[in-house]
């Protein structure tokens, strides 16, 4: 079972990705720019960093399961337009393929 939170409440949901899919909680982006300008929601870019909440068992290749090198709790960078958005309560999650993850942070 994974839990996700943006605010103080922690809704619980059973979410187990298949194959080489990864569930990510996107990191909140800065809302103001230099000089105190406010960026409206419609002008913001999609986040490209986040925390891994769940990892699938891996993909099959030639009868062998290839596990992912990512684990729950890792902070990662992923492609800006990759993945499928999924909403759980007040939390916006992203489900991406393992190949869409570009790097592990830290």
Residue 6: pLDDT band by 50, 70, 90 thresholds? very low
pLDDT tens per residue, range 76-87: 999 988 999 999
pLDDT at 63: 93
* Contact predicate 55/71, CB 8 Å: yes
Domain chopping of the chain, boundaries = 21-28+43-106
Residue 45: pLDDT band by 50, 70, 90 thresholds? low
Over residues 90-104, mean pLDDT: 93
The CA angle 43-26-44, to the nearest 5 degrees, is: 5
Q: Which CATH superfamily is domain 21-28+43-106 in?
A: GroES chaperonin (2.30.33.40)
* Contact predicate 2/15, CB 8 Å: yes
For the record, the structure tokens of 29 come out as 């982006």
Three-class SS state of 100? helix
């Amino acid at each position: 079972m994974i839990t996700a939170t943006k605010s103080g409440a922690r809704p619980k949901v059973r979410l187990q990705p298949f194959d080489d899919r990864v569930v990510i909680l996107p990191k909140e982006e800065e809302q103001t720019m230099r000089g105190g300008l406010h960026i409206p929601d419609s002008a913001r870019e999609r986040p490209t960093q986040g925390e891994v909440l769940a990892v699938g068992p891996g993909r099959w290749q030639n009868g062998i399961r290839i596990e992912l090198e990512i684990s729950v709790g890792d902070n990662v960078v992923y492609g800006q337009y990759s993945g499928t958005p999924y909403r759980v309560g007040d939390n916006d999650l992203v489900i991406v393929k393992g190949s869409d993850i570009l790097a592990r942070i830290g």
